[in-house]
Structure 1
């Protein structure tokens, strides 16, 4: 491959590397399951990374390629350059850049790269005249480590929703996490203790879909790294402790028109939602079962999606209560009109999750789907007969059902692409099959001596 001239953004990064005395670069990407991977190179290789890319073996990455077609190339996005706050030393520091993955045989973006899948969804929105904005609310737990440094499920505090110290003993850790995120360019909006003990939420500002997905991947890395510095283990596992609330990642989204106006806002509508917003929302509701496979991708995800623990399981929307799958939050100004999908959890691959949400909503717009009436009552209190009267369906109750729904939904399956969709289904079907044949401690405790 022939090298090329540097862009101004790339030259700015080289200047920052020199001025900041950066020693190493972590070139970051994700596999299909959302696990962050990185290739570490000396900072002096930055120019080569920009102009030629950095080669790696893709066959060792989950769901990427077969051994006979393993050569992949990482091309860093200069807009994602950030110094790692936990890797700064007196004699130098480390920085990271998020990369796009390219196929070396064709020179084209690799269709199995989750970031590329999201770019495809964004391109579809752009072609329809929209820019997509997202704002997630990722929740997580922090647990103490044992003497050997392994994670336990002993929480770092016994605080509750919005509690202050001393109950919230991890507030200092959360403060350091926020400082670290801000050092990496995050605009933090709020931080608080969540409902469950040892559970926290840190919210960052609305941004375009790609930047937000990058931020989610970065957020999980920063939270884990800084928690570890305090001898704590941070986890984004949806339900690490039974019989208490799990961790979600409520996701706010809206569309902007080409002139920067909020396409979701209409002052004359009862709910201040435009026809575009109603159709987008209808698309989300119609494709919700298939979206669940991607937005709630683990066996453990479905331990959270059960009635009684504030997680949405009913396919409906509301402008007043949080028992519905989709909520229309109050907006003080037109620019803030949006919808909130409350089912996703932070174990998901943000690139794939955002991609299927976008495709679902755009499908609703293209087909001019009619949005059902909002449900303003508490759906958690409905019995089955009343839910039937309202036409309210439930989300898949386990990963197997969700994968089935994904395979049956042409729009969402195709949104993942010809490479990712079958690989994702294969991986998740295997995960569910392994779960089905396993025997849990609960079963041993309940049945071993009784029978």
Structure 2
């Protein structure tokens, strides 16, 4: 059995021959990604694909796009979209674990081909945006270096340049649990505080599923690097004589790749993880913050740019000539400064949901401030895990030099956020290409209020200390900017900024940007009104008076009365006033979205406080109701 087809390196005849050699590969799926990050599964019989190969590769499959997330582009009155295969990336074969051929009893396979979305002859999906960004960045970097003898000397590059590559790597974190296990928030919090789980040996079904996932990724050409337990969760518990129950957080990493291939890898890896862990009887969630009060799941993005010169030597564009003297090359400083300077315009592609903002909470290693870390000195690399953007470097290995963007989560659209990062790096490198590392370092290292040419005056951009403990919240907001707290706020901040760098070289179009913003805005409201508020109501209704079955103190009565008053304020209308939830829903109807955002924050804060009040009240009850 083969597990992938390396399409870029094969001819049409070789591809067809390989497909035919796998008699159990019965279907082909054209998989593409809309602007909401949702991927399609347009499945056709493999016979149809082979017999009409040229037509499929040229024209793809026409389909209805009114139900995918392309608002303002593929509307119900103009819904036709075309899904066109991409031959420049690997095609994976997805084998079923429970569906087999009749004669040989082999797992039935589906050839998954990453594809592009077209509407009215124009590319409109997430993959096409990243493809344009990658091509533009690689072309611009080539031109900058070819035009500058200083950059050629700094990077030790001999012309002509053979290749430029924008590389990306993502980390996949997720929570896994047995279907019957119930979470104990306090136990999870204590376990995290004591660091009981990080890098601990997995046991039972989690171990088996993790190892099977790493094996599957290896077969699919991912080159997995590690899989381990993360900081969240509690230890596996033995129930009965031979069954473990689990509530654990896992991370899996694999090797970097060309940006578009890496984004495809991340998308398909989620399916692999979900299927394999389910096969072992485990539930998986990729939510950014599935449990309040404990670690959320991030998906850090690592970016770098390399050049292959006339000698076939590979050079890292970010690495300086002298690793002991400088942190970065001029282009490296420019790329870093570009991301920092434009992060408020990148952020909607990162923090695009209510779940994303639930994770971005001070104190949980999730970044809330636009600030970077370089390390204590060029000769002593370090990692500050409280910042947004970290420089990772090895003084003995220039090729390892890269930036780690720590804000993304699994729900972030890796295609669009990587494209936005590429556009920002281009803008920064164009500023830096004729400058020296020393003057760029001075600008990046500026203090708040200090004038700068490229970066903003009233911002500080570098910190090598813990920004949660060494700065107050007021200091953080002053020095690094106030972070958005809701989807509405992240969109409003985006619109207040100058975003020309995104459209400067047609990486994004105005139509794509507006469609995306409309998509996350609509999803924000739909989830808030259809899931979050109903869930709050359910949680409130589960709070009951507990002190009626035992002699109680006046303290119990006082505490319960305070809890009940808060419950009424949140969800019960009276003849004198509407409750908080009703006011929020009315604001949605009236399209007063600034008020909706404000009331959402108030509701979340009050629900958190209500749970805390009830926890204190409950701990004082001796005879709890069964």
| TM-score with structure 1 setting the length | 0.88
Which 5+ residue runs of structure 1 have no aligned equivalent?
1-5
Judged with a 3 Å threshold, the aligned counterparts in structure 2 of structure 1 residues 234 and 261 are, in CA distance, closer, same or farther, namely same
1:163 aligns with 2:200: yes
Instruction: Give 2:491's match in structure 1, choosing from 399, 403, 412.
Output: 403
Ranges in structure 2 where 5+ consecutive residues have no aligned partner: 1-7, 143-163, 234-247, 376-381, 433-439, 447-461, 544-562, 571-626
Backbone CA RMSD of aligned residues: 2.8
Asked whether the 8 Å contact 1:280–1:362 carries over to 2, the reply is yes
Distance 1:62 1:180, change over 3 A: same
Structure 1 residues 414-425: aligned runs within 5 Å: 414=503, 415-425=507-517
1:351 paired residue among 411, 415, 418: 415
Q: 2:400 aligned with 1:327, yes or no?
A: no
User: Partner of 1:66: helix, strand, or coil?
Assistant: coil
Alpha carbons 1:137, 1:201 under 8 Å: kept: yes
How far apart are the structure 1 equivalents of 2:127 and 2:184?
35
The 3-state SS of whatever aligns with 1:255 is: strand
Deviation at 1:342, TM superposition (A): 0.7
Structure 1 residues 418 and 12, CA, compared in 2 at 3 Å: closer, same or farther?
Answer: farther
The residue number in structure 1 matching 2:519 is: 427
Answering whether residue 70 of structure 2 is matched by residue 60 of structure 1, we say: no
1:223 aligns with 2:260: no
For 1:294 and 1:362, the matched residues in 2 are separated by: 18
Which deviates the most, 364-373 or 328-337? 364-373
How far 1:94 sits from its partner (Å)? 2.1
On the 8 A contact 1:288/1:395 being kept in 2, the answer is no
Structure 2 match to 1:255 = 305
For residues 59-110 of structure 1, what are the alpha-carbon distances to aligned partners after superposition, in whole Å with 9 as ceiling and x for unaligned?
Answer: 221215123332222222243222114357325422211112234x43xx42
Deviation at 1:309, TM superposition (A): 0.8
Distance 2:275 2:205 in 1: 18
SS in 2 for 1:426: helix
- Identify which of 287, 292, 299 aligns with 2:354: 299
The match for 2:167 is 133
Pair 1:372-2:445 in alignment:
yes
Give secondary structure in 1 for the equivalent of 2:264: helix
Question: Given that residues 117 and 351 in structure 1 are in contact (C-alpha distance below 8 angstroms), is that contact kept between their aligned partners in structure 2?
Answer: yes
- CA contact under 8 A between 2:31 and 2:39: conserved in structure 1? yes
When structure 1 is superposed on structure 2, of 371-380 and 324-333 the one drifting more is 371-380
Query: Is 1:234 paired with 2:284?
Result: yes
Q: 2:96 aligns with which of 86, 92, 106?
A: 86
CA contact (8 A) 2:205 2:280 kept: no
Match of 1:310 in 2: 365
Aligned residue for 1:196, secondary structure, equals strand
TM-score by length of 2: 0.65
**Which structure has the larger Rg over C-alpha atoms?**
2
1:143 to 177, 181, 186: 177
Higher RCO (CA-CA < 8 Å; seq separation 6+): 1
Query: What is the distance in 1 between the residues matched to 2:285 and 2:11?
Result: 34
| Match of residue 145 from structure 2 | none
2:34 to 20, 23, 31: 31
Question: Secondary structure of 2:399's partner?
Answer: helix
Equivalent pair of 1:399/1:428 in contact (CA under 8 Å): yes
Match of 1:3 in 2: none
Structure 1 residue 337 corresponds to structure 2 residue 371: no
